[in-house]
Structure 1
């Protein structure tokens, strides 16, 4: 079963995400529970949550992922920002439980002078403050690695998983990996990069992929997404990635965060991923 979908809007009610996903041909996906640029989470009405759960169970393969606010910084040495980040994450994992969502995805953030080791320690201890409901897993996302942001190296992800007392897993973003210097532009490069991930982190911790091509070259630390197969990762790299044994055998959900431009939107990219998988199977 190929699980592919996109990050869709919840405008008008979180239950609308189900229909929005179906409209683009997706069978799994991702949402924000509120504007990712503000701390205020608002509230999700019980009726909306029930309609979301029912619609998902009836119409989608799943899973869903909640993407945490962009304001969350788990690595920060600043007490005020740390507390806001922990509070925001607690609201996200609680929302996941209410919506029947398996995963909450979060970037580690920037250490802003605390250093790599200090930032990782801050992130692990912040995550340990959470009361994560049963059935919900926090995913740490790979990063493009610019400035003092952590998560660009597989070792950062592995260290947080090792140091935290939470049962954490990982979401890989193909554009972020590429920007951070992990080549995915050929079958050979995909094989080498995925082998390194398995060696450092382990495929058993891979639970989701943000499937995005990149508008910038490998190792530039520039995070700008392109349509699948039309960026600098390219069609051959994307084909090799979506058909990698770890993705296929693990039935890893592929969540698109691709742009809407050049007359192409999520629906085009969902079809493209299907074609790349079908090309391999043929």
Structure 2
């Protein structure tokens, strides 16, 4: 089973390997820099080599780089679009340097361009990237508030279909639940996976952000909970990690650190749900 967490790179990106091992993970996700500012990935050659060597020696993989929260691929604003493309280019280049397979990105908000306009903007922005061989960009499902896109599976499929690159998809369970896809029962999980397969195709699903939700289905509220302790609950989470179309995918936790529980507790919880 491949399960891990989004861990810190404080002190050097190579520290992520030990941070992942400390929580019991064997795959995972990182930011290459603070996600709240426009900043270039801070990776030197020695750190990159140590990261690659540590990963090969101790982890199963894969790793995912999560792009900056400031990136907005759907925007109609020229300056923000250019900054977003530049940021994404630097992330895919960092992924190549680190030997990381995936760069994950939210589509962003169309802010008045309309759904179709926003989806076109996102696809054409991604087309501007020079994606290195061995790196795949994943578009992530969203909770769907305001003018943000990605809350509907159709949005993910549309960008995938309109883009010249071979994009993949990352499904965030808390986001999908908040967007109205009910994952709280085994039957619900089966229905959602079948719908995803019909609209997007499970062959293009490369990663799952495994998060429970503090808010009810369809509320569009994005707040993560510990695995099995939110509104999705134990039954839904158990089916997700055991569903035949999902069980072999990497599960990456973005769960909170609160109530005396952190990533290690959640990794153990996921293993305990495995059948």
Quickly name the TM-score band, shorter chain normalised: over 0.9
Report the alpha carbon displacement of residue 193 of structure 1 after superposing the two structures with TM: 0.5
> Which consecutive residues of structure 2, in runs of 5 or more, have no partner in the other structure?
none
Does residue 122 in structure 1 map to residue 121 in structure 2?
A: yes
1:69 corresponds in structure 2 to: 68
Q: Distance in 2 between matches of 1:69 and 1:138?
A: 14
Report the alpha carbon displacement of residue 274 of structure 1 after superposing the two structures with TM: 0.1
> Which consecutive residues of structure 1, in runs of 5 or more, have no partner in the other structure?
none
Following superposition of structure 1 onto structure 2, how do residues 1-282 of structure 1 map, counting pairs within 5 Å?
2-248=1-247, 251-277=248-274, 280=275
SS in 1 for 2:246: helix
SS in 2 for 1:124: helix
Report the alpha carbon displacement of residue 40 of structure 1 after superposing the two structures with TM: 1.4
CA 1:46–1:114 in 2, change beyond 3 Å: closer, same or farther? same
- Once the two structures are superposed, residues 255-279 of structure 1 have per-residue CA deviations (whole angstroms, 9 ceiling, x without a partner) of 00000001000000000000000xx
SS in 1 for 2:169: strand
Q: Distance in 1 between matches of 2:270 and 2:37?
A: 33
SS in 1 for 2:245: helix
Q: CA RMSD in A?
A: 0.5
- 116-125 or 38-47, which deviates more: 38-47
Aligned length: 275
Q: Distance in 1 between matches of 2:266 and 2:41?
A: 31
SS in 1 for 2:272: helix
Report the alpha carbon displacement of residue 42 of structure 1 after superposing the two structures with TM: 4.7
- Once the two structures are superposed, residues 133-159 of structure 1 have per-residue CA deviations (whole angstroms, 9 ceiling, x without a partner) of 000000000000000000000000000
- Once the two structures are superposed, residues 39-80 of structure 1 have per-residue CA deviations (whole angstroms, 9 ceiling, x without a partner) of 111531100000000000000000000000000000000000
Q: Distance in 1 between matches of 2:39 and 2:241?
A: 36
CA 1:236–1:113 in 2, change beyond 3 Å: closer, same or farther? same
SS in 2 for 1:171: strand
SS in 2 for 1:177: helix
Is the CA contact (8 Å cut-off) linking 2:255 and 2:262 kept in structure 1? yes
CA 1:42–1:97 in 2, change beyond 3 Å: closer, same or farther? closer
| TM-score normalised over the length of structure 1 | 0.97
Q: Distance in 1 between matches of 2:203 and 2:192?
A: 16
SS in 1 for 2:83: helix
